[in-house]
Amino acid sequence: MTNIAEDIKIVLEFYQAMGVERIPIMTEQKSRRAEEQKIAEKEVSYNVAPISKFHLTSEQKKSALNALREEIGDCQRCKLSKGRKNIVFGEGSIDAEIMFIGEGPGEDEDIQGRPFVGKAGQLLTKLIEKMGFKREDVYIGNIVKCRPPFNRDPEEDEINACSPFIRKQAEIISPKVIVSLGRISTQTLIGLKIPIGKLRGKFYQFEDIPLMPTFHPSYLLRNPKDKWLVWEDAQKVLERLGK
- Burial label for 104, CB within 10 Å (0-12, 13-18, 19+), is buried
Number of residues that bind ligand URA (CB under 6 A): 13
d(CA 154, CA 148): 6
Q: Does 213 bind ligand URA (CB under 6 A)?
A: no
Rounded to a whole number of angstroms, the distance between the first and last alpha carbons of the chain is 60
Shortest distance, position 131 Cβ to ligand URA, whole Å? 18
Bridge partners (DSSP) of residue 91 are 140
Identified binder of ligand URA from the candidate list 92, 104, 154, 213, rule CB under 6 A = 104
Strand pairing category for 139-142 and 98-102: parallel
Residue 52 Cβ vs ligand URA, minimum distance, rounded to whole Å: 29
Based on the shown chain and the rule CB under 6 A, indicate whether residue 105 belongs to the binding site for ligand URA.
yes
Binding to ligand URA (CB under 6 A) within 136-195 occurs at 142
Kindly give, in sequence order, each residue whose CB lies less than 8 Å from that of residue 170, ignoring residues fewer than 6 positions away. Answer: 99, 101, 141, 178, 206, 207, 209
Residue 217 CB, nearest approach to ligand URA (Å): 7
- State the number of CA atoms in the 13 A half-sphere of 155 facing the CB: 6
Q: Which of residues 56-75 bind ligand URA (CB under 6 A)?
A: none
Among positions 68, 78, 110, 121, the unique one binding ligand URA when judged by CB under 6 A: 121
- Name the segment binding ligand URA (CB under 6 A); options: 69-77, 116-124, 160-168, 192-200: 116-124
Segment near ligand URA (CB under 6 A); pick from 15-23, 102-110, 129-137, 196-204: 102-110
Q: How many CB atoms lie within 10 A of CB 105?
A: 29
Min CB(166)–ligand URA separation in Å:
11
Which amino acid, one-letter code, is at 5?
A
DSSP class of residue 80? Answer: G
Least distance (Å) between residue 196 CB and ligand URA:
13
CA distance 123 to 121: 5
* Interacting residues with ligand URA (CB under 6 A): 102-106, 109, 115-116, 118, 120-121, 142, 218
